[in-house]
Each structure stands twice: as C-alpha cells, then as structure tokens.
Amino acid sequence: MANVNDKQIALAKVYSNAMLALAQASNEEDALLADLVDLVALLDRTPTLEAFFCDPTVDSNDREKSIERIFRGKASDLMINALQILNRKDRLSLLSTIVEQYRVALQTERGRVEVFVRTAVPLPEELKSTLAATASAQTGKSAQIVETVDTSIIGGLVLQIGDIKYDMSVASKLRKMSKALQTRASKEISSGKAYV
C-alpha cells in the first residue's frame, strides 16, 4: 500500500483504537490481529485485490458485496465489520497502516514496546540484550528488539522506539558532512572568499 503522511497515521490510530476497544470487549484482540495480518499479507500477494480495495473509482456497494463474499465465514465478524466501515468511509487504502497501529496499540496495552534497530551487520546477542534493557528502563515497558540488517547505512545503527528515531548511522553522518561542505562551498562561491 502507498506511503502515508502524519495525518493519515493519526487517522489510522483512531480506527485502530476503535477496533482494539471492540476486540477487547469480546476478548478477541489476538484473533483480530491474526486476521488483519493475514489480510494484509493476502493483499501484498494479490495486487489486483489490493487495487480493488484501494481504487476510489470502484463503487463502495460493489466492494461491500465482494468483502462479504470473499471473507464472511473465513475471518472474524469483527474484522469483516471493520472492513465494511473502512469501505463506507473510503479508508481501505489505509488498511496496512491501521493494522500496524493496531499492533502497536495492542503491544502498548500489554506493557510492551518494540524497538526497531537497523544495522549494517547483525547485532551480537549481548548488544541486543543491552539495547532491550536500556529501552525497557527508558520506556518503563518490556522491550522487544526487532532487528533489520541494512547495508546501506554503512555502519552504526538506526534505532526507533515508537515515534522517536535515533539515527547514529555512518550514512547519516556522511549526509550531514556533505550538506555542511555544500553549504560552505556555496558561501565561499557567493562571497568570493575562501574560508580555508
């Protein structure tokens, strides 16, 4: 699904929190999450179905009938009802963001936090444990490390806890140095002075 902006993320949080409240009322939090994750995976594997879900030119009544035909009896009523509401409000394009916000809200509700770590090489277990302990102490929640190896950052790491991001990568430092050098060169050229 497409990239989303801050406004869309805020909107996704509203829907995900409502879905979580309904799921908690019937003790279906994990079942709903499993259904939602499976649905997003299905949409990722089936571009035509994803396009059908997200295309604003598709009649919402046709989409409503298709949702019923495809999912009723195969997924929870709670998920299908949520899809129907998203369909009526033209918000199905936010589905993957809503699912991610639902997962985060459920983790938060259970006193857990995911710490996303991007590194150029896999982290040693000792460092993962240290990062988890530090994040747990900082957030007051049980931290789980979610590691991604990304060679494009060259070295260092990028750490994200909720909405807070710490970029301590070599690639980021190189970008900052490059920008500083460009700014300096621009000043030298426009002033006619050399600062060296």
> What pLDDT sits at residue 1?
43
What CATH fold (topology level) applies to the domain 6-107?
Peroxidase; domain 1 (1.10.520)
For the chain, the straight-line distance linking the first and the last C-alpha, in angstroms and rounded, comes to 49
Q: Are 128 and 145 in contact (CB under 8 A)?
A: yes
Whether the model pTM is above 0.75: no
Domain boundaries, the chain: 6-107, 111-169
Compute the average pLDDT of residues 14-42: 95
pLDDT tens readout for residues 90-110: 999 999 999 999 998 999 899
Mind listing the pLDDT tens digit for each residue in 110-162?
999 889 999 999 999 999 999 999 999 988 899 989 999 999 999 999 998 87
- Both tokens of residue 19? 């879905």
Provide CB contacts within 8 A for 188, sequence distance 6+: 194, 195
